Copies of this chain bind each other. A is one copy, B any other.
Amino acid sequence: MQSKSGLLRAHLARKTGCNLETIRYYEKVGLLPEPPRSANGYRVYPPELAQRLQFILRSRDLGFTMEEIRSLLVLIDKGEQTCAEVMGRTQTHLDQVRRRISSLKQIEATLAATLSQCTGENIPDCPILESLGGLDRSSQLP
């Protein structure tokens, strides 16, 4: 049962790597419009909806929140996207990602350093435990 004009839900799910139920969920919350139905009532996804789902999933993978994704989609939907607007949002997100990376690098350095101090012997005061406790949050995300 495969309409030539689109994919059934499970097929779309497999193709995009999206969870089956998540597709229905995105429809429910309005990220995906209601797709046309076949005679028996099954959802049939035309290529443009498949692409829209790809976009959503890709954005999700990149760490955009639902609201951010929604606002990106609004820009697409209203056609007259000002490129600058999209650029701004992307830049903001990129900054966020970069802050996150540098925080993680601090943690990495701390863990690596403490690990290198550790002999693996069974001594009472483990240096790892000492240094983990000492991490502060002064340089955190906004």
Contact = CB atoms under 8 A, between A and B. Distances in A.
For the residues of A in contact with B, the DSSP-based class is helix
Contact of A128 (B51, B87, B98, B111): B87
Contacts of A78: 126, 129
Interface of A: 16-17, 51-52, 54-55, 57-59, 61-63, 72, 75-76, 78, 80-84, 86-87, 90-91, 93-94, 97-98, 100-101, 103-105, 107-108, 110-112, 114-115, 118-124, 126-129, 132-133, 135-137, 140-141
Given A63-B107, A78-B129, 5 more contacts: A57-B137, A76-B132, A78-B126, A83-B121, A84-B122
The 3 closest A-B pairs by CB, nearest first: A58-B137, A94-B111, A55-B133
